Chain A
Amino acid sequence: MGDLKKTSTLVMEPGEGQGFATTRFESLLAWAQKYSLFMYPFVTACCGMEFMSVSSPRYDFSRFGSEAPRFSPRQSDLLWVVGTIVQRQAPILRRIYEQMAEPKWVLAFGTCASCGGFYDNYACVAGVDKIIPADVYVPGCPPRPEAVLDGLMLLQDKIQRGDKTPGIVKPRLDPVADPNLGLVQLRRSRPSSPVL
């Protein structure tokens, strides 16, 4: 709800229980769209385990409104391409993408879906963007759930801004490398214990 207070939006709150907000129609529509991303999980490979992890309560991407999985492309807004796409599967994936109703977005989950990863061979499509346009790329093999949540929030941000260019999730800071957290020191100071 906090996003309603952005540039094009003005909230007037004169008193208790009354008031109004002004905004542009596109902004309101984008705000509605970004919090109701019905997803179509196209899960083909090992990234699916990480996808389940993100969708399960510990990480829980339904907090971001992308809760409802729709196993019909006609009812879904966001196509999650999770895992390696082989040449044999490419026509199926494109057909599913074409069946989705506008507006639609594609999230390339993991290195294989983003660029093929090390599957640079006769069988695989080197990145899902060879056959369908991808909006957000989440690198990682598989990506951490935090990276996936970053990707989802990046997509929401792009929807809000009306930005069509593809985006990539940047790596967060490695907590071990952060001296303020002192994790390395903690590890070093731990007495060496015999392996049980």
Chain B
Amino acid sequence: MAKALIDLVKKNFADAVLEAHSLCGDDTLVVDARHWKAIHRFLRDSPLASMDMLTDLTAVDFPDREPRFEVVSHLYSLSKGHRLRLKARVGDEDGEVVELDTLTELWASANWMERECFDMFGVRFLGHPDLRRILLYPEFEGYPLRKDYPADRIQPLIPYRDVPNTEKIAPFGPDEGMSFGRKTHRSGVAASTAKNGEAD
């Protein structure tokens, strides 16, 4: 069953399928980004595939690769009960131009998933009706799930309180709380040298 689906796409989009593998029942197709929407439309409309559900759409960042991002979509057919995963490689090295066609015209559920993908990875979905941040706030700069986003960069909306000993875990003593905080990790000092407030 699974192979038939891959073969179906291969037959109709011979030059668009870059890679295909089927491992432990997971069928994956890596397709050309230019045919992203056409292949999805075909898979939805074809009676042999009839993929009527877009279960997931996300992206993966591979900083060493060119193109850098891999947008992943998971399709499911409620009537036939089979699944297919499609990937498209997009984006340049800097992550400035990361563009892919939107799937909102095919599945309404693509709307929010593409917004989340844009929010986290900065993939611009061309033709999306409302491409705004969905989880983070509009003031947020950058895309946090990219590998080059600094792990310790936070962007508070309101300034933190200007009070001593609120660095981390205010009233926790040296032997309490967690010692693996990022501040410890970077500076190499024990968590609680300057930060053990008044333990009650």
Interface size class of A (residues with CB under 8 A): 20 to 34
From known contacts A115-B169, A166-B198, A168-B176, infer whether A122 and B153 are also in contact, taking CB-CB under 8 Å: yes
Total of A-B residue pairs, C-beta within 8 Å: 80
Distance in angstroms from A154 CB to nearest chain B CB is: 7
B4 at the interface (CB under 8 A from A): no
Contact present for B177 and A122 (CB under 8 Å): no
Interface residues of A: mostly helix, strand, loop or mixed?
Answer: loop
For residues 148 through 200 of chain B, which have their beta carbon under 8 Å from a beta carbon of chain A?
149, 151, 153-158, 160-161, 163, 166, 168-172, 176-178, 181-182, 197-200
Provide the A165-184 mask, 1 if CB < 8 A to any CB of B, else 0: 11110100000000000000
A40 at the interface (CB under 8 A from B): no
Provide the A107-126 mask, 1 if CB < 8 A to any CB of B, else 0: 00000001111101111011
Contact present for A122 and B144 (CB under 8 Å): yes
Chain A minimum-CB-distance residue to B199: A168
A88 at the interface (CB under 8 A from B): yes
Bound-complex Cα distance A139 to B170 (A): 12
Provide the B51-73 mask, 1 if CB < 8 A to any CB of A, else 0: 00000000000000000000000
Contact present for B171 and A133 (CB under 8 Å): no
From known contacts A133-B161, A154-B200, A165-B198, infer whether A88 and B168 are also in contact, taking CB-CB under 8 Å: no
Q: Which of B137, B182, B197 is the one whose CB lies under 8 Å from A120?
A: B182
B108 at the interface (CB under 8 A from A): no
Interface residues of B: mostly helix, strand, loop or mixed?
Answer: loop
Q: Which of A117, A121, A131, A167 is the one whose CB lies under 8 Å from B161?
A: A131
B18 at the interface (CB under 8 A from A): no
A130 at the interface (CB under 8 A from B): yes
- The interface residues of chain B lying within 8 Å CB-to-CB of A154 are 200
Contact present for B172 and A168 (CB under 8 Å): yes
Q: Which of A87, A134, A170 is the one whose CB lies under 8 Å from B156?
A: A87
Contact present for B144 and A127 (CB under 8 Å): no
Bound-complex Cα distance A87 to B198 (A): 27
Chain A minimum-CB-distance residue to B150: A122
A69 at the interface (CB under 8 A from B): no
Instruction: Given contact pairs A115-B177, A167-B200, enumerate 11 new A-B contacts (beta carbons under 8 Å).
Output: A87-B137, A91-B158, A114-B172, A122-B149, A126-B168, A130-B156, A165-B198, A165-B200, A166-B197, A166-B198, A168-B172
Interface residues of B (CB under 8 A from A): 135-137, 144, 149, 151, 153-158, 160-161, 163, 166, 168-172, 176-178, 181-182, 197-200
